[in-house]
Amino acid sequence: MTLEAYERDLRDLFVDLSARGVTSIAAVGPEALFEHVRWLTTERALDPNSIGRHVVTVRVFFRYLHATQKLANDPARLLERPTRWKKLPHVLSPGDMRKLVEAPLPEHGDLWLRDRAILETMYASGLRASEVGSLRLNQFSEVAGALHVVGKGSKHRMVPVGEHALRWISRWLQESRASFVQADEGRAEFRLFVSVRGKPLERVAVWQLVKKYAAIAGLSRVHPHVLRHSFATDLLRGGCDLRTVQEFLGHASVVTTEVYTHVDRSKFNEVLRKFHPRATG
């Protein structure tokens, strides 16, 4: 764990505690720290590994303050160890996902085509917010119906684009993108999706976009990773094998992908009866 990661984790902790009205280290109690971990889960939507690291940072920090007698008690002593903590991803039903991706309409502004294309692409390909914003024109192949994605650690992967996403990306490119770029690809950095000023789309803008249309669709607890979670869950629910889902998501280990096998258990008995020789009489 780097010093930068420690600093970032503690900064997030202090910002969240201050927002809760806890402005003194001495006033921090176990309940505030439990709420902070819940905030990391629901609002920040960090992955389990990141939250585990964050919990380690908090535990070490308060253990140090207690050991050096700067605090009488250690409020972090009751936080669960990361090895025991596991977060199941929140997913949307196919019906709610349809409400979300179909939410952008002409009355929502000049960028509605871009927004529809982005939502369709994120759900169709399981992209992270940072990945969809960094896509370049030459990473989209309409003929192949695929995206060449550069993910975490500069790892490259090819992911498919479904017919709906393909159609909306094409509409955005043919009908709207040029009016925002205004032939200045240097400013746009050849990005597939751009801002209203024709500049690269920042990660935070993708978050705001998803939140905006989730509210319009009447959905709660929705952030960019929910589209990624729903993409993976729907693939597995439809019968896709775990290794293929791992490749699509860009996970380094299949262990990370296995969390999605715990989300939908509706077909467990059906699968058992179909494939196990002793499952039926």
CA distances from 152 to 12, 90, 149, 167, 251 (A): 22, 22, 10, 27, 9
User: Does 199 qualify as catalytic in the annotation?
Assistant: no
CA distance 109 to 101: 16
Of these residues, 152, 243, 267, 273, which one is catalytic?
152
Of these residues, 36, 54, 114, 251, which one is catalytic?
251
Closest alpha carbon to 145 in 123, 129, 121, 127: 121
Of these residues, 54, 114, 191, 228, which one is catalytic?
228
Secondary structure (DSSP) of 104-129 = --GGG-TTHHHHHHHHHHHHHH---H
Of these residues, 36, 177, 213, 260, which one is catalytic?
260
Of these residues, 36, 116, 177, 225, which one is catalytic?
225
User: Does 225 qualify as catalytic in the annotation?
Assistant: yes
Q: What are phi and psi of 175, to 5 degrees?
A: -105, -25
CA distance 146 to 74: 51
Tokens of 117: 């294309």
User: Does 152 qualify as catalytic in the annotation?
Assistant: yes
Of these residues, 59, 114, 116, 128, which one is catalytic?
128
User: Does 156 qualify as catalytic in the annotation?
Assistant: no
Residues tagged active-site: 128, 152, 225, 228, 251, 260
